[in-house]
């Protein structure tokens, strides 16, 4: 399950703008909408490097490198388009999660 947690600098965005982004991203990467999650944290205060959007992306280790690149790129494109922000102002860092390092519905999740 791709999970993105995105902090957005100085932007209060209505839910009507944010909700369609999840289905767009799911469509672009070829997964069902119930298998992706995006959390938006608007109006954050950031010190240091001033990216307009900073995302932590979590992906399971079973994804191939090409798929990881696709997921990252499609997230970047969707965010840039939705918020009218240049790609240079969006930073995405991807964390690869190993099997057994996820708990969902009270159970440890394993994959091969």
CATH classification of the domain holding 39: 3.30.429.10
- Helix (H) or strand (E) holding 15, with range, is helix 15-29
pLDDT tens digits, one per residue of 49-61? 889 999 999 999 9
Res. 11: pLDDT tops 70? no
Which DSSP string corresponds to 41-97? EEEE---SS--SEEEEEEEETTS-HHHHHHHHHHHHHHHHHHHT--GGGEEEEEEEE
Q: In this predicted structure, which of 11-15, 65-69, 95-99 has the lowest mean pLDDT? A: 11-15
Rounded CA-CA distance 49/16 in Å is 29
**pLDDT confidence of residue 10:** 66
pLDDT classification of 17: cutoffs 50, 70, 90: confident
Quote the domain boundaries for residue 73: 3-109
The total number of structural domains in the chain stands at: 1
């Amino acid at each position: 399950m791709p999970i993105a947690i995105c902090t957005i600098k100085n932007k209060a965005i209505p839910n009507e703008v944010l909700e369609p982004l999840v289905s767009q991203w799911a469509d672009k990467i070829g997964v069902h909408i119930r298998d992706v999650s995006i959390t938006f944290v608007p109006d954050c205060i950031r010190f240091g490097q001033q990216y307009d959007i900073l995302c932590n992306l979590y992906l399971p280790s079973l994804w191939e490198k090409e798929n990881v690149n696709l997921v990252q790129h499609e997230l970047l494109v969707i965010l840039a388009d939705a918020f009218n922000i240049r790609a240079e102002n969006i930073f995405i860092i991807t964390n690869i999660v190993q099997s057994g390092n996820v708990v969902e519905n009270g159970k440890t999740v394993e994959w091969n």
